[in-house]
Amino acid sequence: MSDPASTVFMLRHRRALALSRQAADSDQSWFEAHPTRLVRFRTELLGEFDLLTLQGQEVPALIPEGLDPTRLLTWVAVVDISRAAGFPMPTHLGAIRTRIRTVPIRSRSLQAAMSELFAIAVCKDLVAQTQPDQAPASLVA
């Protein structure tokens, strides 16, 4: 007989994996329909970051300067890292993307202005993590 706590953890883990897959599939479809875009802004799906939380990891977050830092982080910026780095991946190979919590950014013009900022922040964070002599940058504002 299995431990009830481990059974509950496994059920939560499976649910979190399913929610994460659902978010990734939705993002994949969107990026296929928008082949030149670097960032997708959308509302956060219920439970989409549960897998990170279950693993004890912090959910990446970024509130760009000029936006209200007191607003709830209910939106997600999905950054296509391959495109941002200038190396678009062929569709059949998939893509390298990251999701970052942020405040609502509803305006299309503001989303366009913020896209480059999010892409640069992600790329800087990745470069910092590869430099052993530098402290990694943090997206968490």
Read off the pLDDT of residues 102-112 as tens digits, 9 standing for 90 and up: 999 999 999 99
User: Is the pLDDT confidence value at 101 over 50?
Assistant: yes
Quick one: average pLDDT of 17-30? 82
pLDDT of residue 2: 64
User: pLDDT for 56-67, tens place per residue?
Assistant: 999 999 999 999
DSSP designation for 93:
G
End-to-end CA distance of the chain: 45
**Between 90 and 98, residue with greater pLDDT:** 98
Q: Which residues of 67-103 are buried (b: 16+ CB within 10 A; e: fewer)?
A: eeeeeebebbbbbbbbbbeeeeeeeeeebebbbbbbb
Q: In this structure, what DSSP letter does residue 33 have?
A: H
Tell me the percentage of the chain whose pLDDT exceeds 90.
Answer: 36
3-state secondary structure of 101: strand
pLDDT, mean of residues 106-130: 89
What's this model's pTM, rounded to 2 decimal places? 0.79
Give the pLDDT score at 87: 79
Residue 47's pLDDT is: 84
Structure confidence at residue 141 (pLDDT) = 46
| Domain locations along the chain | 4-130
Secondary structure (3-state) at 80: strand
Q: Residue 28 contacts by C-beta under 8 Å, 6 or more apart in sequence?
A: 95
